[in-house]
Amino acid sequence: MIGGVLRILVIGLVALVAAIMMLRPDTPTTALVIDEPRPLPDVALTDHNGNAFSLSDLNGRNTLVFFGFTNCPDICPLTLAVIAEASAKLRQEAPRVAPNVLFVSVDPARDSAERIRTYLSAFDDDFIGVTADEQTLKPLIDTLGVTVHKQTDGGETYNVIHNGTIFVLDNAGRWFAVFGGSAHRAEIIASDFLAIRRRS
């Protein structure tokens, strides 16, 4: 009789531990944490105020990085709106660790500092926008594996095909995690960020 009760208690304890492990707050839902944080080339950028900017200016705080362009009809506005919602949630729930948000324009020919500033103000005034010429951006784009393809219609107008990935930098400016795909959810970005930040 005692043996049967003990067996039930052990099984219950094992189930409880398993449930706790599944609900650990440091287990992300969709974010992928890479094995070793990777340093990024500190390329010379221009920010949305027309000032010189480099990734090292972000040191001391985690950063969410998204590549896009202001003429983007779908992925950019949708993703930036989600990031803005996630950022607001993090500023409310964990203001001391809420990340920077960096928007990198991959369309320097059309995206001036003023245009980027106006564009980002529709989402969050705290977002940082930067760009540089294509050759300057190339080492950063290549290191992160960002997809960028200019699609023309034979005339002067063109579209820029790119992915909707959100990259996460640690407080030393190294790439250590990624939100893949383009169907992002603000609550998951916020909760996953807090989880992976503890592991960075």
pLDDT digits (tens, 9 = 90+) for 165-185: 999 999 999 999 999 876 799
Mean pLDDT of 6-23: 40
Mean pLDDT of 85-112: 96
| pLDDT single digits (tens) 144-154 | 999 887 877 76
**Tokens 């506005």 sit at which residue?**
77
Q: What is the pLDDT of residue 160?
A: 82
Distance CA 80, CA 75 (A): 8
Pairing status of strand 32-38 against strand 175-179: antiparallel
Taking the model in full, what pTM does it have?
A: 0.84
Select the more confidently predicted residue: 140 or 26: 140
Select the more confidently predicted residue: 7 or 187: 187
The rounded percent of the chain whose pLDDT value lies above 70 is 84
Structural element, H or E, at residue 115: helix 113-121
For the chain, list the domains and their CATH numbers. 28-197 (3.40.30.10)
Mean pLDDT of the chain: 85
> What's at 33, amino acid-wise?
V
Mean pLDDT of 89-116: 96
Structural element, H or E, at residue 167: strand 166-169
Q: Does residue 7 register a pLDDT over 90?
A: no
Q: What is the pLDDT of residue 152?
A: 77
Q: Does residue 8 register a pLDDT over 60?
A: no
Distance CA 12, CA 6 (A): 10
Structural element, H or E, at residue 30: none
| Cβ atoms within 10 Å of 25's Cβ, excluding its own | 9
Q: Does residue 115 register a pLDDT over 90?
A: yes
**CA angle (43 as vertex; 46, 162 as ends), nearest 5:** 80
